[in-house]
Chains A and B, each alone.
Chain A
Amino acid sequence: GQQLNQSPQSMFIQEGEDVSMNCTSSSIFNTWLWYKQDPGEGPVLLIALYKAGELTSNGRLTAQFGITRKDSFLNISASIPSDVGIYFCAGHLNGQNFVFGPGTRLSVLP
């Protein structure tokens, strides 16, 4: 079945730094979603992407739908302590269920 890879698996950054993470697939998707999950909570939808090449921002977050439709990127600018958590990407192809990546664990050092 379809599988997603997320890179990096985990990262430690200093507060104020920018963060980049990506999600790749061996097959194409029509929709990419990015979620953030805090410990003991459900994932919260950050950004949804529906078109190849689309670049969408949500505050300090920016995500892009890769032109090949097999990848997506999430950038966080000027990180703050509350950015700590696990970031999941999810891909969707019409008629199929969402596929979730394994997550990128972000730690922000003060």
Chain B
Amino acid sequence: GAVVSQHPSWVICKSGTSVKIECRSLDFQATTMFWYRQFPKQSLMLMATSNEGSKATYEQGVEKDKFLINHASLTLSTLTVTSAHPEDSSFYICSAKTVGNSYEQYFGPGTRLTVT
């Protein structure tokens, strides 16, 4: 149980284009999903918290107009990197928190974004 998927697993795009990454909780409902960014050999950096049916909460320094988050259902959250630039190249990982009192987060497999 508690499986989270991400799609695509990797993507290469040209500068100036937009890329959408999907995060799905496959066997549970997730009222809250989180989007992280991870640089090589570094820890996870929280970008934003996505709540179903409401606007995402962005961490300080994260541009909400550049990283658009939509959490339209209890099993799906999307992250759109708009007008991507090479510095946006990174490993993006989502996680989902189960409904209820549990504070456990379950992570997706990540999406490797490369902007050329």
Q: Which residues of A contact B (CB under 8 A)?
A: 30-31, 33, 35, 40-45, 48, 50, 88, 90, 92, 97-98, 100-103, 105
Contact = CB atoms under 8 A, between A and B. Distances in A.
6 smallest A-B Cβ distances: which pairs? A42-B107, A31-B103, A42-B110, A102-B43, A42-B109, A43-B107
Nearest to A38: B109
A43 B104 CA distance: 12
Contact of B104 (A33, A88, A97): A33
B104 A100 contact: no
Contacts of B112: 40
Nearest to A97: B46
Contact of A97 (B2, B49, B108, B109): B49
A48 B112 CA distance: 27
Nearest to B102: A48
B44 A100 contact: yes
B54 interface: no
A43 B44 contact: yes
Interface hub of B6, B42, B107, B112 (most chain A Cβ within 10 A) = B107
B43 A103 contact: yes
B62 to A, nearest CB: 13
Nearest to B4: A42
Interface string B30-72: 0000100000011110100100000000000000000000000
A48 B46 contact: no
B105 interface: yes
Contacts of B34: 97-98
Contacts of A42: 4, 6, 93, 95, 107-110
B28 interface: no
Most central of B4, B43, B46 by chain A CB within 10 Å: B43
Q: Pick the most buried of A30, A42, A97: most chain B CB atoms within 10 A of its CB.
A: A42
Nearest to A4: B43
Given A42-B93, A101-B43, A102-B43, A92 B109 contact: no
